[in-house]
Chain A
Amino acid sequence: MAGWLAGWLAWYLVSNTAHNLEVRGMNTGFGFIDSSAGFDTDFKLIDYTPGIGTYGQIFLIGILNTLLVSFMAIIFSTVLGFFVGVMRLSHNWLVAKVALAYVEIFRNVPLLIQIVFWYIGVFSLLPVVKKSLDLLFGTGNLILNNRGFYLSTPIPGDLFWMTSVTFVGAVIGAVLYRRRARKIQDSTGQQTKTLLPSLAAIIGLPLVVYYLTGQPLAWDVPMLKGFNFVGDTSVPPSFLALLVALSIYHAAHIAESVRAGILSVNRGQQDAGMGIGLKPGKVMRLVIIPQAMPAIVPPLISNWMNTVKNSSLAIAIGYPDVVSLFMQTALNQAGYAVEMVGMTMAFYMLVSLTISFFLNIYNKRVQLVER
C-alpha cells in the first residue's frame, strides 16, 4: 500500500514538473554547464573571464569560495571554542563567568544578524582606500580598508626550494624524534624534552637556510593604483565579515561541547592526575582531554558540518559562495532551476557525507579502544 502511494506521489510530482517546465518554456538538461556565463564575481580562486568562462567554472568558483571560508572558519572556531570551553571551567570565577557570557550572548543571537552586523557595522566602516590601515607598521604588507584585506604575495626565487625542503625535513625529523622519545619513555621511563627542540628545528633550520641562500623570496606588496590596491592577494570585506561571524558563533557552540566533554570525564581522573604529581596544565592535556575526546568529537564534527552549511548565509552580504553565485545569480540568468538547485544541494550533500564518513571511522576506532 505504502509503496503504491509513494510511487503514485513520485509520478505525480515528476509529471507535474515536466508539464510545468514545458508550459513555461523553461530550458532543461545540463548543456548550460559548458555555455558561457556573462557575469563576473569580485572574488575567485581560479582564472575566469566573464563572457568566456562557463557556468561550470562559476559553479567551481562558488564551491571553492564556500570551502575556503568554511575551512578557515572551522579552524578559527575550533581553536577559539576549545579556549573558551576550558575558560568556562576555570577555577577563576571571573574568567568562567566571562566565558559563560560569551557563550550565551553569541549562541542566542541569530547568526544572520551577527553576519550582517559584522559586515555593515564593522567591515564597511573601515577607512577608505586612501587612509588604509597598515597592520604591519608601515611595511605595506598587510593592508585593511573598506574594500578588503590585502596581503602581499610571496614570489619564490630560484633557490627557495631549498628552504621548503629543509622545512619539510625538519618536520619529519621532529616527528621521528618525538616517536623515539616516546619509545624511550615507554621502555625506561625517562622523559626527553621534545617540544623546544622540535620547534627550534622547524623554525630555525629553514630560517638559516633561507638566509644562507640569500633570501630568495620577493614580496609582491599591495600597491595603490588609481582607486584601489592591486597586485597582491586580497579578500573582500564580505569574506572577513563572514569569517569572523562564523568563527565567533560556532566557537560558542564548540565551547559548550568541549565543556560537556570535559565534565563527562570522571572527577577521580583529575584527582588521580594531581595525585601522581602532574601540574594542572598537564593533567588537562595528558589525562582529561584525551578521555574527553570521544565525547567532544561527534558534536565538534557536526558543528563543522553546520559551519559549511551556515556559510551559505554569505548571500545576505554578497560574498560569492556557491549559493549566492550559482543558485542565485546564475539561476536568475540562465533559468535551469531544477538542475541548478539540484547541483547545489548535491554539493552540500557530498560535503556532509564526506564529513560523516570520517566521523564514523573515528567513532569505530574510539569504540574499539574502549572495549
Chain B
Amino acid sequence: MAIVNTQRSPDRPAPISETSVVGWLQRNLFSSVFNTLLTIFMLFIIYLAVKGILVWGLFDATFIAENRRECYDKSLTGACWAGVIDWLDNIFYGRYPRDQIWRINAGGLLLVLWMLPMWLPRVRGKVLVGATVVVFYPFLAGYMFSGGEMGMLTQIMASGAIVSFALIMANMLVGLCKDMGLNSFVLEVFGKSKAADKTQRNLLLALVAALFVPAYLWLSTWALEVISWTKWGGLFLTLVISGIGIASSLPGGILLALGRRSELPVVRVLSTGFIEVFRSVPLITVLFMATTMFPLFMPEGFVLNKLTQVIIAVILFNACYMAEIVRAGLQAIPKGQFEGAHTIGLGYWGTMGLIIMPQALKHMIPNIVGNLIGLLKDTTLVSIIGLFDLLGMLRSISKDVPWLGLHKEPLIFGAVLFFIICFSMSKYSRHLEVKLSAGEKH
C-alpha cells in the first residue's frame, strides 16, 4: 500500500535573509569587504554633496532681499535666491507686457486642455485630436501671442481652431460620461443613428459649419494689442521655438527620409546631401548661417525677422536628425510588410501612411523623444545669437543693477527647470514605450 500525501504541504516562507531589510542590505550593500568599503565611501560622498547643497541652497540661502548687497548682509555662505524670485516673471515671460501675460497663460492652458483627451483612455478619436492640434492650434496661438491685424487665412484657421477645440472638449465630455464618440452621440440625439451613411455625414458637416460661422464672426470682434516678437522671451520663447521645432521637424523628417529612399535619383541625391550636410555641422553654425546668409538667399526687399530665421534653422536642423531616425525605423520594417500592402492594392502613400509609418514610428519612439529632448535643450543656443530665451533671460539677471554679478543662482535655477522638463519627458517616453509594446509578443 503506497502512502501518498494527498494534501499539498504549505509553502515554506522564504528565508529571512531573502525578505528582510537586513537581507536586502546584506546582499546589495555589504556582500563583501570591498563592497562594504565602497558603500561607506559612497555614503560619505553623498553626505558631503547633500549637505553642501542643502546648506548652500536652503539653510543659508536668502529668499527675500532688495538687492545683492542685502543678500550678502544676511548670509555670506548661502545662495541668493531673491534675485531669481525677483526676476521670475521675466524668466517665464520675457519682456512681454505685464498686463498681457494672460494671453500666454490662456494659450498654454488651451494647449493643455486640447491635448488632455490623449491621456484619457475612454475618449475616442485621439488621432484627430493630434492632427487638429498641429494644424489649427498654431494659428490661434500665434494670433493670441502676437496680436494685431488678423489676415483672412489666420481668421479662417483660428475659427477652425475654436470649432475643433469646442468639438474636442465636447467629445471628451461625451467620452468620459457615456464612453462613446461625439459623432455617434450626436446622431443618437438626433435619432439618425440608423440612417444612411450619407445622411449622417451631411448632418455632421452641417453641424460643424453651423459652429464655424459664429466662431468666425466672433473672432472678427477680437482686437488684441500688437506685441512685437522682440518682447517675447524667457521660458515662453524657449517653448515657442522648441514647440514649433517639435511639431514640424517630425513631418519634415518623414519627408526627408522618404526622399532619401526615393527611387527618383534627383530627389534621393538632394535629400541625402541635405541630411548629411546639416547633420555634420554644429547647430550654432546653422544658426549663424540663418542670420547671416538667409537674407542673401531671399529676393530683394523680402525681410524675415530674426525669430523666424532662427525657427527655420531649428526646424531644418532637427528635421535632418529626425530623418535619420525615421530611416532607421523604416529599415527595420520587414519587406513582407511592403509586399503585403502592395498585394491588397495600396499605392505608395497608402502603403507608407497606413502600414509602414505607424510601425516604423512606434519602433522609434525612444529615439524620437530623445531627439525632441535634445531639441529642447539645444534651444538654449539661440541666446548666443541674441534672443532672450530662458538662458538669455537668466544671464541678463547678472547685468541688472540690483543683482549685478549674480551668475550662479540663475544658472542653477535654469538647470533645475530644464532637468525637470527633460527628465519627465524621458520618463514618459519610457512609459509610452512599455505601453505600446505591451501587446507585442517577442
- Taking Cβ atoms with an 8 Å cutoff, the residues of A that contact B are 2-3, 6, 13, 16-17, 19-21, 23, 91-95, 98, 104-105, 107-114, 116-117, 120-121, 305, 309-310, 312-313, 315-316, 323, 327-328, 331, 337-338, 341, 344-345, 348-349, 351-353
**Contacts known (A20-B295, A94-B42, A348-B280); A327 close to B381, Cβ less than 8 A:** no
B residues 375-390 touching A (CB-CB < 8 Å): 377-378, 380-381, 383-384
> What is the CA–CA distance of A76 and B284 in the complex, to the nearest angstrom?
24
Q: Is the CB of B419 within 8 A of A108?
A: yes
**Contacts known (A117-B415, A309-B282); A345 close to B289, Cβ less than 8 A:** yes
Q: Please name all residues of chain A whose beta carbon is closer than 8 Å to the beta carbon of B64 when the two chains form the complex.
A: none
> What is the CA–CA distance of A327 and B293 in the complex, to the nearest angstrom?
12
> What is the CA–CA distance of A323 and B284 in the complex, to the nearest angstrom?
8
**Contacts known (A91-B28, A323-B282); A316 close to B384, Cβ less than 8 A:** yes
Q: Is the CB of A98 within 8 A of B285?
A: no
Question: Chain A's nearest CB lies how many Å from the CB of B206?
Answer: 40
Q: Please name all residues of chain B whose beta carbon is closer than 8 Å to the beta carbon of A113 when the two chains form the complex.
A: 380, 391, 411, 414-415, 418
Q: Per-residue 0/1 for B266-293: is the Cβ within 8 Å of any A Cβ (1 yes, 0 no)?
A: 1100100000110111111100110011
Most chain B C-beta atoms within 10 Å of own C-beta, residue among A108, A117, A351: A108
Q: Please name all residues of chain B whose beta carbon is closer than 8 Å to the beta carbon of A344 when the two chains form the complex.
A: 281, 285
Q: Please name all residues of chain A whose beta carbon is closer than 8 Å to the beta carbon of B31 when the two chains form the complex.
A: 91-92
Majority secondary structure of chain B interface residues (helix, strand, loop or mixed): helix
Q: Choose one: B35, B277, B418, B426; the contact of A349 (CB below 8 Å).
A: B277
Q: Please name all residues of chain A whose beta carbon is closer than 8 Å to the beta carbon of B292 when the two chains form the complex.
A: 331, 337, 341
Question: Chain B's nearest CB lies how many Å from the CB of A114?
Answer: 8
Question: Chain B's nearest CB lies how many Å from the CB of A339?
Answer: 11
> What is the CA–CA distance of A108 and B419 in the complex, to the nearest angstrom?
5
**Contacts known (A345-B281, A348-B280, A352-B280); A338 close to B296, Cβ less than 8 A:** yes
Q: Is the CB of B266 within 8 A of A2?
A: yes
Q: Which 3 A-B pairs have the closest CB atoms?
A: A93-B28, A352-B280, A110-B377
For the complex, is B399 an interface residue (Cβ under 8 Å from A)? no
For the complex, is B408 an interface residue (Cβ under 8 Å from A)? yes
Q: Please name all residues of chain B whose beta carbon is closer than 8 Å to the beta carbon of A94 when the two chains form the complex.
A: 28-29, 38-39, 42-43, 46
For the complex, is B119 an interface residue (Cβ under 8 Å from A)? no
Q: Is the CB of A6 within 8 A of B277?
A: no
> What is the CA–CA distance of A328 and B38 in the complex, to the nearest angstrom?
49
Question: Chain A's nearest CB lies how many Å from the CB of B150?
Answer: 30
Q: Is the CB of B300 within 8 A of A23?
A: yes
> What is the CA–CA distance of A352 and B384 in the complex, to the nearest angstrom?
24
Q: Is the CB of A108 within 8 A of B373?
A: yes
Q: Per-residue 0/1 for B150-177: is the Cβ within 8 Å of any A Cβ (1 yes, 0 no)?
A: 0000000000000000000000000000
Question: Chain B's nearest CB lies how many Å from the CB of A350?
Answer: 9
Closest to A114 in B: B415
Q: Choose one: A105, A110, A120, A312; the contact of B391 (CB below 8 Å).
A: A110
Q: Is the CB of A312 within 8 A of B267?
A: no
For the complex, is B190 an interface residue (Cβ under 8 Å from A)? no
> What is the CA–CA distance of A116 and B45 in the complex, to the nearest angstrom?
25
For the complex, is B186 an interface residue (Cβ under 8 Å from A)? no
Question: Chain B's nearest CB lies how many Å from the CB of A334?
Answer: 13
Closest to B267 in A: A2
Q: Per-residue 0/1 for B295-314: is the Cβ within 8 Å of any A Cβ (1 yes, 0 no)?
A: 11111100000000000000
Question: Chain B's nearest CB lies how many Å from the CB of A321?
Answer: 10
5 A-B pairs whose Cβ atoms sit less than 8 Å apart in the complex: A20-B298, A344-B285, A345-B289, A348-B285, A349-B280
> What is the CA–CA distance of A105 and B420 in the complex, to the nearest angstrom?
10
Q: Please name all residues of chain A whose beta carbon is closer than 8 Å to the beta carbon of B289 when the two chains form the complex.
A: 341, 345
Q: Is the CB of B285 within 8 A of A120?
A: no
Q: Please name all residues of chain A whose beta carbon is closer than 8 Å to the beta carbon of B391 when the two chains form the complex.
A: 110, 112-113, 116
Q: Please name all residues of chain A whose beta carbon is closer than 8 Å to the beta carbon of B35 when the two chains form the complex.
A: 91-92
Q: Please name all residues of chain A whose beta carbon is closer than 8 Å to the beta carbon of B59 when the two chains form the complex.
A: none
B residues 328-373 touching A (CB-CB < 8 Å): 373
Question: Chain A's nearest CB lies how many Å from the CB of B170?
Answer: 38
Q: Is the CB of A108 within 8 A of B411?
A: no
Closest to A5 in B: B266
For the complex, is B395 an interface residue (Cβ under 8 Å from A)? yes
Closest to A13 in B: B297
For the complex, is B203 an interface residue (Cβ under 8 Å from A)? no
For the complex, is B407 an interface residue (Cβ under 8 Å from A)? yes
Q: Please name all residues of chain A whose beta carbon is closer than 8 Å to the beta carbon of B281 when the two chains form the complex.
A: 309, 344-345, 348-349
Q: Is the CB of B295 within 8 A of A327?
A: no
**Contacts known (A313-B381, A349-B277, A349-B280); A338 close to B411, Cβ less than 8 A:** no
Q: Is the CB of A105 within 8 A of B296?
A: no
